[in-house]
Chains A and B, each alone.
Chain A
């Protein structure tokens, strides 16, 4: 028996936020009590000051395996996820080969299962090869374990095909996730189009390239009654479009990344390739609208969009640099900073990392009776150094910075997959030590 004593239990599914002791047996929560009388043989850990929350869920993670293991693989990516407090991550299908067939889904699911740590819930492709022409065999992909479909960073731009994809996915109750971009308005784009892109001489991605696509995709979703998920919303207009669509009753959900909630296009000044992401970091008014949208529930969840790249892919001219930043281990410090600054309520922040993404996937998430638990230490200060990160890649603008907030323990399906005190995750092949 393990007793986590004195923490703040935040269980959004039960609208619970209370100081309590959490009792685990075989790594699973069996009791949440204001003051638990621990038997003599119980292991008691003092977690005062910590938040005990359901295992975090990341809706958008690029794990790079198969095919790009030099950037990340399932072992390193899932170790990073565990250290970041995630109990489950949704793997994006833009691997090599693309996850558009049962064989690839099987591979990812079985490899992840063998690792035995953080769970992987793969998204499969909407179209074969992400090419935007033929639909994938969604029924079979679902049977293999796919939780949804997306063409990753390739938007389905053909409205007719999008309609068919939504209709077909609806048949099998799969969510369709879209990266919303009108590519003809974002040709050659390197960053948000605005004063800074004009000064830097970099081609811009106007917010309207995102908003035109959101407006259209939401209408097509409305036509089909299917569930559309808008990935990584970055513009204020897109937030407004999603708010309107939800008010009309359209089945639309949306996520936002920690970096879009934190940074603006000023992060690119000096041609900092670490700040090159898709969609781009926009202006303060966009960032504020995203914060407001997350707080009022227009945006359902926070997703990291963890996109690992090697140092070489970022240490180059700006327009040659890869897009994306890592996020699994930085989501908590970034979100904790927003809570600390009063920008985001603690309740919404935690819901956006737990019940929010679970709801998008049609799953549940809770401390009591849940299958994953994360102990968050919001005050834990650390420096973002390569040695401090489990991910193979370190492409983040936070590199070198002091941050506060980290996972202290992560339990997944009865196993302690991360324990900061033990300074390393236990070997997933050894028997779980948490079975106290």
Chain B
């Protein structure tokens, strides 16, 4: 397998199709590890990965942690609520401190858009962006692509509906970027308060004021989490009205292809953006996404920290 040509994973915009396929194929090679009786390979033995999380996160942090542990890397979690930010340390100083500890990869989540790129510019090791503000969440888009490819056999030319709060969503931005790389027909549906005016132009996607045109004939339906704090910002009058207009239930899902898959990056608000009957229904691949997340993140850690040329299977 050729060496990965990037030192960091900061966003999807810096990847091309070959890079994406390289990551997904590497993920496939690791996928089986999590289903073995002994779910550990020595690939990254002696490597140190720091999970630097400035925002509360259970799912992503755990997923990276398990991915690293299954590769035998030494995983260190730094949750910043318990650490330096409370003492007023700048991100610059935190970077310099971390650098002195010689990690191989730093996985960062931060509330500021661009924070991962900033950290990468200061550190001498690989940096994985695990979500920066509203900007990007590339590992989520990659695990979504991994899941879609497993279920549809391809990423090429699919119709994908993304429903909900794209304005504040780094997941939506990264997914739009990735899906457009593969010529997918991406349709956004949501109230105008949650879809910025320049979104269609910025990401070359279609924007709709209702679910129907987005869902009709879709191969993939992605629901995004509605955050309750949006109510206080006059972006939504009520969750009730949101779910009546933009919630995806069985009736709405019926507009998509019969074998369409339903995705959600989690955590879900059941009964708001997604009806429980859909979330738990046969078309839901929500838990497959979680499983794919570990494989894809193993691939990312391996590609950024692994020995060049060593095949993942050799592990």
Contacts from A to B (Cβ < 8 Å): 190, 193-202, 204, 270-271, 312, 315-320
Contacts and interface: CB of A to CB of B under 8 A. Distances in A.
22 contacts: A193-B196, A193-B198, A195-B201, A198-B201, A200-B114, A201-B114, A201-B133, A201-B134, A202-B135, A204-B196, A271-B113, A271-B114, A316-B90, A316-B91, A316-B92, A317-B110, A317-B112, A317-B114, A317-B115, A318-B118, A319-B112, A320-B112
B202 A201 contact: no
A197 B114 CA distance: 12
B41 interface: no
B294 to A, nearest CB: 26
Nearest to A203: B134
A206 to B, nearest CB: 8
A378 B285 CA distance: 65
B31 interface: no
- The range of chain B's interface size is 20 to 34
A323 to B, nearest CB: 15
A194 B173 CA distance: 15
A117 to B, nearest CB: 35
A190 B113 CA distance: 10
B215 to A, nearest CB: 24
Contacts of B92: 312, 315-316
In order of increasing CB-CB distance, the 6 nearest A-B pairs are A201-B135, A271-B114, A201-B134, A317-B112, A201-B113, A198-B202
Contact of B203 (A194, A197, A199): A199
Contacts of A204: 196
B132 interface: yes
B117 interface: yes
From A193, A196, A197, A318, name the one whose CB has the most chain B CB atoms within 10 angstroms.
Answer: A318
A198 B133 CA distance: 12
A201 B201 contact: no
Contacts of A195: 198, 201-202
Contact of A200 (B91, B113, B199): B113
Given A271-B113, A318-B113, A199 B118 contact: no
A126 to B, nearest CB: 30
Contact of A201 (B91, B118, B173): B173
Contacts of B201: 195, 198
A202 B203 CA distance: 15
B170 interface: yes
A315 B135 CA distance: 19
Contacts of B132: 201
Contacts of A199: 13, 173, 202-203
Contacts of A194: 198
Given A190-B113, A202-B114, 19 more contacts: A193-B197, A193-B198, A194-B198, A198-B198, A198-B203, A199-B203, A201-B113, A201-B132, A201-B133, A202-B135, A271-B117, A312-B90, A317-B112, A317-B114, A317-B115, A318-B112, A318-B114, A318-B118, A319-B112
B23 interface: no
B136 interface: yes
B199 A201 contact: no
The main secondary structure of chain B at its interface with chain A is mixed
A319 B112 CA distance: 6
Given A201-B170, A312-B90, A271 B198 contact: no
Interface string B109-123: 010111101100000
Contact of B133 (A196, A316, A319): A319
Contacts of B135: 200-202
Nearest to B169: A201
Contacts of B13: 199
B92 to A, nearest CB: 6
From A195, A202, A317, A320, name the one whose CB has the most chain B CB atoms within 10 angstroms.
Answer: A317
A271 B173 contact: no
A315 B92 CA distance: 7
Given A199-B173, A201-B135, A270 B117 contact: yes
Interface string B200-235: 011100000000000000000000000000000000
A202 B113 contact: yes
Contacts of B112: 317-320
From B92, B112, B196, name the one whose CB has the most chain A CB atoms within 10 angstroms.
Answer: B112
Interface string B68-96: 00000000000000000000001110000
Nearest to B113: A201
A270 B136 CA distance: 13
Nearest to A204: B196
A174 B12 CA distance: 54
A315 B91 CA distance: 9
A278 to B, nearest CB: 18
A202 B115 CA distance: 12
A194 B113 CA distance: 16
Contact of A317 (B118, B173, B197): B118
Interface in B163-214: 170, 173, 196-199, 201-203
Interface string B122-136: 000000000011111
A195 B201 CA distance: 7
Contacts of A190: 113
A317 B91 contact: yes
B160 to A, nearest CB: 19
B279 to A, nearest CB: 27
A182 to B, nearest CB: 16
B135 to A, nearest CB: 3
B136 A316 contact: no
Nearest to A187: B233
A203 to B, nearest CB: 8
Nearest to A194: B198
A198 B117 contact: no
A68 to B, nearest CB: 19
B91 A198 contact: no
Nearest to B135: A201
Contacts of B90: 312, 316
A195 B303 CA distance: 32
A271 B118 CA distance: 8
A193 to B, nearest CB: 7
Nearest to B122: A315
B116 to A, nearest CB: 10
B265 to A, nearest CB: 16
Nearest to A196: B202
Contacts of B136: 201
B172 to A, nearest CB: 10
A190 B114 CA distance: 12
B27 to A, nearest CB: 25
Contacts of A318: 112-114, 118
